[in-house]
């Protein structure tokens, strides 16, 4: 699915799909925003959803907000790379922008649930790097959902009651980060991305680079 771009050292490599999942409120959105602000060559995948817009959210930036009929038409037209029903609403990843970013040599960041992660892995296992974010405690998770102040008490209750089920998928992920402190969790997630960008298997320009080095040494 991915094609090559150039790493910061000039060696061509395949783009990667960097996935963050967690129970609601553990901090994916917070960490995603920091990654997009501070890491070059990384583009956020903007999902389509039928969920109502929260105060402060921007259509086309946080999500593309669509009605159920539009979402169903997108599924039917195979416009979504993956999709799932989460908390009674539909969420999905539009295929076009992801493929365009990967073709342009960028990595793509996804804030999606475990169902979507499974679907991406099924399509392109080698190009998916998945990170599961855990909260330090149930009490912290609940506090964070309340402190975000964007969901009703009933929605928060629903999300808390789903948290254990969401978390039961933790072992399907490549990395686990416990989000005690935002700066520390960000540093950990950033280290994972940096290391994964250097993985030999996705650095398709290395053969040519090493051959050129050898030629220099011989000649
Ligand atoms: N380490 C942390 N310590 C304290 N508060 C945090 C921490 N990380 C995130 N938060 C806060 O917790 C709230 C929930 O975070 P965020 O919206 O990033 O979660 P999320 O995993 O994206 O949730 P959802 O799946 O519902 O979108 C926000 O108000 C955020 O500022
Ligand atoms: N499978 C997918 N899951 C998605 C996508 N976009 C978001 N999500 C997940 O939904 C829940 C709820 O999000 P919220 O913004 O309503 O709090 C959360 O776990 C997201 O990661 C998607 O495109 N596909």
Indicate which CATH number applies to the domain containing 20: 3.40.50.300
In a domain, 57, yes or no: no
pLDDT in tens, 151-198: 889 989 998 999 999 999 999 999 999 999 999 999 999 999 999 999
- Ligand 1 atom closest to the Cα of residue 31 is 18
Contact 13, 7 (CB under 8 A): yes
Each residue's pLDDT tens digit, 99-158: 999 988 899 999 999 999 999 999 999 999 999 999 999 999 999 999 987 788 998 999
Average pLDDT over residues 62-71: 97
> Residue with structure tokens 């583009």?
43
Instruction: Classify residue 174: in a domain, yes or no.
Output: yes
User: By mean pLDDT, which of 63-67, 84-88, 113-117 is the weakest?
Assistant: 84-88
For the Cβ of 51 lying below 6 angstroms from any atom of ligand 1, the answer is no
Residue numbers of the domain that contains 172 = 4-44+106-209
Give domain status of residue 192, yes or no: yes
Going by alpha carbons, the residue nearest to atom 7 of ligand 2 is: 112
pLDDT of residue 3: 57
Give a yes or no: residue 193 inside a domain.
yes
Token pair, residue 40, equals: 């070059």
Residue 124 belongs to a domain: yes
Residue 128 backbone phi and psi in degrees, to 5: -105, 130
Per-residue pLDDT tens over the stretch 33-58 = 999 999 999 999 999 999 999 888 99
Residue 85 counted as an annotated binding residue: no
Whether residue 1 has pLDDT greater than 80: no
pLDDT of residue 104: 87
Q: Return mean pLDDT, the chain.
A: 94
Does 84 map to a domain? no
In a domain, 127, yes or no: yes
Q: List the residue whose alpha carbon is closest to atom 23 of ligand 2.
A: 92
CA-based nearest residue to 90, from 50, 126, 54: 50
Q: What is the pLDDT at residue 105?
A: 83
- Asked if residue 113 has its Cβ within 6 Å of ligand 2, the reply is yes
**Helix axes of 138-148 and 153-167: crossing angle, nearest 10 degrees:** 140
Whether 92 maps to a domain, the answer reads: no
Closest approach atom of ligand 2 to CA 47: 23
> For the chain, how many structural domains are there in total?
1
23 assigned to a ligand binding site: yes
Least confident of 16-25, 92-101, 140-149: 140-149
pTM for this prediction: 0.95
| Inter-residue contact 11 to 118 (CB < 8 Å) | no
- For ligand 1, atom 12, name the residue with the nearest CA: 144
């Amino acid at each position: 699915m991915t094609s090559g771009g150039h790493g910061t050292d000039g060696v061509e490599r395949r783009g990667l799909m960097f996935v963050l999942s967690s129970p609601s409120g553990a901090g994916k959105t917070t960490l995603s925003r920091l990654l997009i602000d501070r890491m070059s060559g990384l583009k956020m995948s903007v999902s389509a959803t039928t969920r109502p817009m929260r105060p402060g959210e921007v259509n086309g930036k946080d999500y593309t907000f669509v009605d159920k009929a539009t979402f169903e038409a997108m599924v039917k037209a195979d416009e979504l790379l993956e999709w799932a029903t989460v908390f009674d609403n539909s969420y999905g990843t539009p295929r076009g922008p992801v493929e365009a970013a990967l073709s342009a040599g960028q990595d793509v960041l996804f804030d999606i649930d475990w169902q979507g992660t499974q679907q991406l892995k099924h399509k392109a296992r080698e190009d998916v790097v998945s990170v599961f974010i855990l909260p330090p405690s149930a009490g912290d998770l609940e506090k964070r959902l309340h402190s975000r102040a964007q969901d009703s008490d009933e929605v928060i209750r629903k999300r808390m009651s789903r948290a254990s089920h969401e978390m039961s998928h933790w072992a399907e992920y490549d990395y686990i980060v416990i989000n005690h402190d935002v700066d520390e969790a960000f540093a950990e997630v950033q280290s994972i991305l940096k290391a994964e960008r250097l993985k030999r298997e996705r650095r398709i320009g290395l053969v040519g680079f090493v051959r050129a080095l050898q030629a220099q040494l011989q000649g």
